[in-house]
Structure 1
Amino acid sequence: MPAPARGEPLRVIIGAGEQRWEGWIPTQREDLDLLDRESWAAWFGERRADALLCEHVWEHLTEEQGRAAARLCFEFLKPGGFLRCAVPDANFPDPDYQRTVQVGGPGPADHPAADHRIVYDHRLFVDVFGSAGFEVELLEYCDEAGQFHHRPWDVATGPIYRSLRLDHRNRDGRLGFVSLIVDARKPLC
């Protein structure tokens, strides 16, 4: 694993796919498997992450697996560290979007959503991380009425492409694709 320069934070992308962000170490399931503590122990050793970034991965786990993965991330973060995590939003009121992100996907087995196991709403997603010990802040989400909410967040601290600010489908005041995005912070003590 490429180590960050001395004094630089250890920031890791979980399930990076093709994502590459400056200052972040991309990993794949073969490196860090969210369901295998031993892969994390081997990869991190005695080190702990300052920040973890995970975009559109959690929906590929069952709720129970997602809760276990949250506990694993909590264990391998430094106190005060955080996980920025994004998933499809169950409350986004666009039928085409919902067909695209639905459990089991909209079509052939090679579709990216073919192995989606869950589509989270904000309450359940916050609970998944809160129950692991995190302090959770919603950054972007739709409420039960389908109303989109967002608060300012610093892209430099952890970019999420499928977000209000970065996704090319969100232009000219039109929401084309949203994510449910949280910051899950490990308390200092």
Structure 2
Amino acid sequence: MYRADWEMSFGDRKIDAILSEHVWEHLTYDEGVQAARICNSFLKKGGYIRCAVPDGYFRNDWYQNIVQIGGPGPKDHPAASHKIVHNYKTISQMFEEAGFRVKLLEYCDESGEFHFQERDPEKGYIYRSYRYDHRNSNESI
């Protein structure tokens, strides 16, 4: 992520909201902080980022194999470029370092317990989430 690209696209204009679904795992932690700082500088006062990343505390071996650093499959698979597997602590810390106040909406804690807060999809629809991913059911996430 390069600041010059944002400047070319937005100039002095400010953004109300940024949606990021499965992007930050393709950056190192330090690159993620820098990218979040760039985003923060282009947000209006009261603006926000709705961000979703794979969850390092989600207890499912198949899932963890798919989202692991470097990915499980061919080099052209999107997961092959994963550089980090975040958990609620690392993603929160990364955004806080960039000047954000973090509100967690959906995550697993260290014991694998799932936490969820209802939210308005009009403020950033995340397909790969508890509520909207077709692979989820009442019995299984």
Q: Name the counterpart of 1:139.
A: 105
**Number of aligned pairs?**
141
Q: Distance in 2 between matches of 1:137 and 1:65?
A: 21
> Which structure has more strand as a fraction of its residues?
1
1:49-88 equivalences under 5 Å are: 49-88=15-54
Once the two structures are TM-superposed, the CA of residue 173 in structure 1 deviates from its matched residue by 2.8
The structure 1 residue matched to 2:91, chosen from 125, 136, 145, is 125
Match of 1:90 in 2: 56
Shift of 1:86: 0.4
- Offset, 1:36: 0.5
- The SS at the match of 1:92 is coil
User: 1:113 aligns to what SS in structure 2?
Assistant: helix
2:66 alignment partner, SS class = helix
SS at match of 2:137: coil
Question: Match for residue 156 of structure 1?
Answer: 122
Moved over 2 A (4+): none
Shift of 1:110: 1.6
Shift of 1:144: 0.3
Equivalent position of 1:45 in the other structure: 11
- Alignment partners' CA distance in 2, 1:135 and 1:53: 16
* TM-score calculated relative to the size of structure 1: 0.73
Question: 1:103 matched to which residue of 2?
Answer: 69
What is the distance in 2 between the residues matched to 1:45 and 1:70?
A: 18
Unaligned runs of 5+ in 1: 1-34, 176-189
- Counterpart code for 1:131: E
Indicate the percent of aligned positions where both proteins have the same amino acid.
Answer: 54
CA RMSD, 1 decimal? 0.7
Unmatched segments (≥5 aa) in structure 2? none
Give 1:111 shift. Answer: 1.5
Q: CA-to-partner distance for each residue in 1:156-186, whole Å, 9 max, x for gaps?
A: 11100000111001123310xxxxxxxxxxx
Q: What is residue 172 of structure 1 aligned with on the other side?
A: 138
Q: Distance in 1 between matches of 2:93 and 2:105?
A: 15
TM-score (norm 2): 0.98
